[in-house]
Amino acid sequence: MSTSAVPIDLPWARNYVESHVDKRQVNKIQHAFPSPRFWSNREVPVDQVKENRNRLESVRDSAISLYMGVPFCIKTDPGKCGYCLFPVEDYTGNASMDDYLENYLKKEVEMMKSSLEGKNLWGVYFGGGTSNLYRPEKYQVLMDLVHELFPVISPQVDITLEGIPQLFSRDKLEAIRDSGMNRISMGVQQLNEDLNRLSGRKQTKKQVIRAIENSQELGLACNVDVIFGWPQQTLDSMVKDLEELVALGVRDITHYELNVGGPTDFALNRYHELPSTLTNLEMYRVSRDLLQSHGFEQVTAYNWRKAGEQEIKPYEEGVIRRFTSIDAVGFGYAAMTFFMDVELDRGQSWSYINWRNLDQYRRAIEEGRYPAECGYQHDPEDFRLFMLFRNLFALELDREAYHDAFGLDVFEEFSNVWTALEEFGLAEITEEKIALVGDGPFYTPMVQTMLAEERYRHLRSREVRGRGIGKPAV
Ligand SMILES: C[S@@+](CC[C@H](N)C(=O)[O-])C[C@H]1O[C@@H](n2cnc3c(N)ncnc32)[C@H](O)[C@@H]1O
Ligand code: SF4
């Protein structure tokens, strides 16, 4: 591991882009900085973190993004849908779902309640795992938890529940709507049943269509997740899927590039069936042109949205188009929390993640402890990179807003990286902003790596010296 502090000069940046444009993007887009590899197993002082946060004037009217997760997913063969890198547990029946909700999630909400009193709610996301494994009567129970924290919820707040197509039955969708949730997000991945079957997922195209139509009839906004760069997938198959979704009236599409890694079936046994990196790039270009030709706007590197009567506001948007603060509170197994603000003193901004081991999560709640597994205490440099990553994910940086928040010119700070990206046609730099253009959004992971290179060198050297970071968490 190199610890030498070679500065990021222009030849390095040019060379980096040149040697990476045809390489597989091994790291997916990061929504946080630094990578969880640098998070520490030292105990996260959650009470202190909450207290630090609440003593700020600026947080009085700050808006909170709420996340509630569920650990369970239907078992597949191959396991974890063949590609999934999220922590999940096998679903074993309603009893474990009910136990998790009634005896754990509810208690965790109680523990956090006082620190959220008086705050505004920006958005709610019930994710996982597979949140639509809950039976119909449980959606109201989930919403009661949100009301426990936020007694008054404006109708403008997006409240999304994520799940798989075959479980979005009509009666569940009705219960979801009646509970006050107003959006679903459905993991489709592939409409093509032959391709979908490679993942062991059992949904049929008919079920996908029925769920989309039912959500439309019930007035629920509906996001569909699809993945490109899938084993055996061709450009034609991708185009057919997207055309069909557009024809079905879907206005909110998340088009992920497959992230291949870990001990997944796709990484271990289907790597040779993956489209090449340059085919993936072609897929990105074709999907972009196709969606734009149908009136979709690119909101983030992978979120596409068509304006309509229903204003759709992705959950993450509230925390990405600014530089000053982020308040995202996660409840449940593997949920992440971000309490970060530019006004906090050095080292007072924190990210942390709840236990990704169900027994550990349960034990913490049973013992009345916050179920935080590990976290990271941000220095101002980390906070800047974190906010830079978030804004870049939304395709552009407002230079003045960055300057107002940090007193720095973001172009000057990373001038060699931006210049190299501009030379390769991946970024556009003006007095007002820096935007990812052309194939730039496809290369977001590479751009993030370049921007973070110096800081990562520093963090790695700190790790080697055995100071400050503690034992790496993952
Ligand atoms: C964590 S899943 C939860 C939703 C639900 N369990 C499902 O699978 O439909 C959310 C989305 O992440 C995406 N995802 C999961 N693993 C991925 C990977 N390795 N590469 C790209 N996208 C992935 C899928 O599109 C999935 O719909
Ligand atoms: S893709 Fe969804 S259903 Fe499959 S393992 Fe991951 S979270 Fe569970």
CATH number at residue 174: 3.20.20.70
Ligand 2 site residues (CB inside 6 A) read 73, 80-81, 84, 86, 88, 128-130, 164, 187
Question: Does residue 390 belong to any structural domain of this protein?
Answer: no
**CA 87–ligand 2 middle distance (angstroms):** 9
Q: Which of 283, 317, 351 is the last residue of a domain?
A: 317
Count Cβ atoms within 10 A of the Cβ of residue 156 and give its class: 0-12 exposed, 13-18 middle, 19 or more buried.
Answer: exposed
One-letter amino acid at 254 equals T
Calpha distance 343→365 (Å, rounded): 31
Beta carbon of 185 within 6 Å of any ligand 1 atom? no
Query: In this structure, what are the phi and psi dihedrals at residue 226, rounded to the nearest 5 degrees?
Result: -130, 160
Other Cβ atoms within 10 Å of 415 Cβ, number: 15
One-letter amino acid at 421 equals L
Q: Which long-range contacts (CB under 8 A, 24 or more apart) does 437-441 make?
A: 439/281, 439/284, 439/285, 440/395, 441/284, 441/298, 441/300, 441/301, 441/302, 441/395
**CA 212–ligand 2 middle distance (angstroms):** 19
Question: Does residue 261 belong to any structural domain of this protein?
Answer: yes
Q: Which of 317, 336, 370 is the last residue of a domain?
A: 317
Question: Does residue 182 belong to any structural domain of this protein?
Answer: yes
Q: Which of 81, 224, 266, 356 maximizes ligand 2 atoms within 8 Å of its Cβ, making it the mutation to test the pocket?
A: 81
Pairing of strands 221-228, 183-189: parallel
Question: Does residue 391 belong to any structural domain of this protein?
Answer: no
Nearest listed ligand to the Cα of residue 71: 2
- Using CA atoms, how far residue 446 sits from 22, 135, 310, 435, 464, in Å, is 11, 42, 34, 15, 25
Residues 221, 273 within the same domain: yes
HEC secondary structure over 318-344 = HHCCCCCEEEEEEECCCCEEEEEECCC
pTM, entire model: 0.94
Whichever domain contains 434, its CATH number is: 1.10.10.920
Nearest listed ligand to the Cα of residue 264: 1
**CA 460–ligand 2 middle distance (angstroms):** 32
Beta carbon of 274 within 6 Å of any ligand 1 atom? no
Residues 14, 107 within the same domain: no
Question: Which DSSP symbol is given to 216?
Answer: H
Calpha distance 184→222 (Å, rounded): 5
* Residue-level pLDDT at 58: 64
Calpha distance 331→146 (Å, rounded): 11
Q: Tokens in use for 90?
A: 């096998």
Question: Does residue 82 belong to any structural domain of this protein?
Answer: yes
Residues 57, 121 within the same domain: yes
Calpha distance 214→172 (Å, rounded): 10
Calpha distance 424→241 (Å, rounded): 31
Residue with the nearest Cα to atom 14 of ligand 1?
84
**CA 224–ligand 2 middle distance (angstroms):** 14
Residues 15, 126 within the same domain: no
Residues 22, 76 within the same domain: no
At 184 the three-state DSSP class reads strand
* Residue-level pLDDT at 157: 93
**CA 380–ligand 1 middle distance (angstroms):** 32
Residues 111, 249 within the same domain: yes
* Residue-level pLDDT at 322: 75
Residues 50, 25 within the same domain: no
Question: Which DSSP symbol is given to 153?
Answer: -
Residues 265, 411 within the same domain: no
Cβ-proximal residues to 19 (8 Å cutoff; 6+ apart), any chain: none
Number of H helices, E strands in the chain: 17, 17
Number of structural domains found in the chain: 2
Q: Which atom of ligand 2 sits closest to the CA of residue 86?
A: 6
Q: Which of 106, 104, 113 is nearest to 150 (CA)?
A: 113
Residue with the nearest Cα to atom 8 of ligand 1?
187
**CA 417–ligand 1 middle distance (angstroms):** 31
- Using CA atoms, how far residue 389 sits from 27, 111, 383, 424, 430, in Å, is 14, 31, 10, 20, 19
Rg (CA), the chain: 22
At 369 the three-state DSSP class reads coil
**CA 84–ligand 1 middle distance (angstroms):** 6
- What are the start-end ranges of the E strands in 197-248? 221-228
Question: Does residue 473 belong to any structural domain of this protein?
Answer: no
* Residue-level pLDDT at 3: 39
Question: Does residue 343 belong to any structural domain of this protein?
Answer: no
Query: In this structure, what are the phi and psi dihedrals at residue 337, rounded to the nearest 5 degrees?
Result: -125, 140
Question: Does residue 385 belong to any structural domain of this protein?
Answer: no
Residues 175, 69 within the same domain: yes
Q: Is the dihedral of CA 259, 264, 266, 271 positive or negative?
A: positive
Residues 192, 286 within the same domain: yes
Q: Which atom of ligand 1 sits closest to the CA of residue 261?
A: 19
Residues 472/35, Cβ–Cβ less than 8 Å = no
Residue with the nearest Cα to atom 3 of ligand 2?
73
Query: In this structure, what are the phi and psi dihedrals at residue 182, rounded to the nearest 5 degrees?
Result: -130, 5
Question: Which DSSP symbol is given to 396?
Answer: E
Calpha distance 189→197 (Å, rounded): 11
Calpha distance 389→64 (Å, rounded): 19
* Residue-level pLDDT at 303: 94
Beta carbon of 187 within 6 Å of any ligand 1 atom? yes
Question: Which DSSP symbol is given to 269?
Answer: H
Beta carbon of 382 within 6 Å of any ligand 1 atom? no
Nearest listed ligand to the Cα of residue 28: 1
Residues 196, 147 within the same domain: yes
What are the beta bridge partners of residue 89?
Answer: 72
Residues 25, 124 within the same domain: no
Q: Which of 267, 283, 317 is the last residue of a domain?
A: 317
Q: Which of 396, 392, 420 is nearest to 17 (CA)?
A: 420
List per-residue pLDDT tens for the chain, 474 residues long. Answer: 333 445 689 999 999 999 999 988 756 888 889 988 899 877 899 988 888 887 776 666 678 899 999 999 999 999 999 999 999 999 999 999 999 999 999 999 999 998 888 888 999 999 999 999 999 999 999 999 999 999 999 998 999 999 999 999 999 999 999 999 999 999 999 999 999 999 999 999 999 999 999 999 999 999 999 999 999 999 999 999 999 999 999 999 999 999 998 999 999 999 999 999 999 999 999 999 999 999 999 999 999 999 875 555 554 555 556 788 888 999 999 999 998 888 888 888 899 999 999 999 999 999 999 999 999 999 999 999 999 999 999 999 999 999 999 999 999 999 999 999 999 999 999 999 999 999 999 999 999 999 999 999 999 887 766 544 433 333
Cβ-proximal residues to 334 (8 Å cutoff; 6+ apart), any chain: 69, 71, 86, 87, 129, 353, 354, 355, 356
The range of the structural domain enclosing residue 217 comes to: 46-317
